[in-house]
């Protein structure tokens, strides 16, 4: 199955009567072909109950095995500009613009970050496949890490990246700083939409209000987990959907996409051990949105001052 981010995706629930066994043995027993196992090993990722795991990991009955991969041969190199913020022999970190898919899809085989990165590699004489370490939705902008080799991708998946986002949400949370701890599951009728569910995977989001406006607020968010649509769903569930997020209740004429930006990234280099910290400023459309909200505040304040002056004169 092709999901909304263009990766192929398959999920199994381990039958109750299966004994505990290695992941590789379990996949063989479930009928996953050798060819597919190789694709996932070199061009994908595999999770057990939401946690990225190596092939020698143990699998228990009732565990959920989630396989996700992209096929390198499907990615056509395209000369698309890349905003590269860090690069060495093992990692490539880019600042992705809003509106760009990470992976190609059947409906959009070109114009994606994968097309751009593969072209960049070919220009340098590399034959690397595309191995993104993180996921960003099409309309989320900001920092994204790419491993140049499948072995590096595997090492990166063993560590938790420190990720911060800036978001402009509808309204202002009553508590200025807090934690949203709500499990997330896929909607039973959709491969795209996520829901809060007691049977879902753990999902924890830390938030802090940076600036408030009459109808919106600028938030800083940090993730402990990296579930699909985590920030979007969590904020919507507590009554503060992202401005511009049509899928989760934040539809507005003020901006044409969800107001979410991956602004900070910190990781330990998988080879050198050095700590890499990178930041990305708000893109122009989000800066403009903040100016619109601030202009509205100034206009309201000016109107109030004028009325107060008239009342005093009267």
What are the residue numbers of the active site?
137
Q: Distance between CA atoms of 44 and 68, rounded to whole angstroms?
A: 5
Element (H, E) at 69: strand 64-69
DSSP assignment of 119-145 equals: HHHHHTT-----EESS---TT-EEEEE
* Residues in contact with 98: Cβ distance below 8 Å, sequence separation at least 6, in sequence order: 138, 139, 140, 141, 257, 283, 285
Residue 190, SS3?
coil
d(CA 167, CA 242) in angstroms, rounded, equals 7
List, in order, residues 6 or more apart from 96 with CB less than 8 Å away: 83, 102, 113, 136, 140, 141, 142, 143, 144, 262
Comparing CA positions, the residue from 140, 146, 141, 87 lying closest to residue 114 is 146
Asked if 41 and 70 touch (Cβ cutoff 8 Å), the reply is no
Alpha-carbon gap, residue 239 to 180, rounded angstroms: 12
- 93-114 burial: b if 16+ Cβ within 10 Å, else e: bbbbebebbbbbbeeeeeebbb
């Amino acid at each position: 199955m092709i999901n909304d981010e263009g990766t192929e995706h398959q999920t199994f629930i381990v039958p109750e009567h299966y004994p505990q066994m290695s992941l590789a043995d379990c996949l063989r027993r479930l009928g996953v072909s050798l060819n597919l196992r190789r694709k996932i090993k070199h061009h994908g990722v595999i999770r057990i109950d939401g946690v990225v795991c190596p092939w020698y990991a143990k699998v228990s009955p009732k565990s959920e095995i989630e396989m996700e991969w992209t096929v390198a041969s499907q990615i056509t190199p395209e000369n698309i500009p890349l905003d590269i913020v860090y690069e060495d022999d093992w990692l490539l970190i880019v600042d992705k613009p809003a509106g760009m898919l990470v992976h190609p899809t059947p409906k959009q085989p070109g114009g994606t970050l994968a097309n751009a990165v593969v072209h960049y590699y070919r220009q340098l004489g590399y034959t690397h496949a595309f191995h993104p370490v993180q996921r960003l939705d099409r309309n989320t902008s900001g920092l994204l890490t790419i491993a140049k080799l499948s072995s590096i991708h595997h090492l990166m998946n063993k560590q938790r990246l420190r990720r911060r986002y800036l978001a402009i949400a509808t309204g202002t949370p009553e508590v200025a700083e807090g934690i949203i701890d709500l499990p997330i599951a896929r909607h039973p009728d959709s491969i795209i939409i996520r829901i809060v569910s007691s049977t879902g995977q753990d999902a924890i989001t830390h938030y802090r209000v940076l600036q408030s406006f009459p109808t919106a607020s600028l938030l800083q968010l940090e993730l402990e987990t990296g579930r699909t649509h985590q920030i979007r769903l969590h904020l919507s569930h507590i009554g503060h959907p992202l401005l511009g997020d049509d899928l989760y209740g934040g539809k507005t004429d003020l901006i044409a996409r969800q107001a979410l930006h991956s602004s900070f990234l910190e990781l330990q280099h998988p080879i050198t051990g050095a700590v890499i910290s990178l930041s990305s400023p708000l893109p122009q459309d989000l800066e403009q949105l903040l100016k619109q909200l601030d202009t509205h505040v100034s206009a309201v304040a000016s109107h109030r001052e004028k009325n107060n002056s008239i009342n005093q004169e009267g």
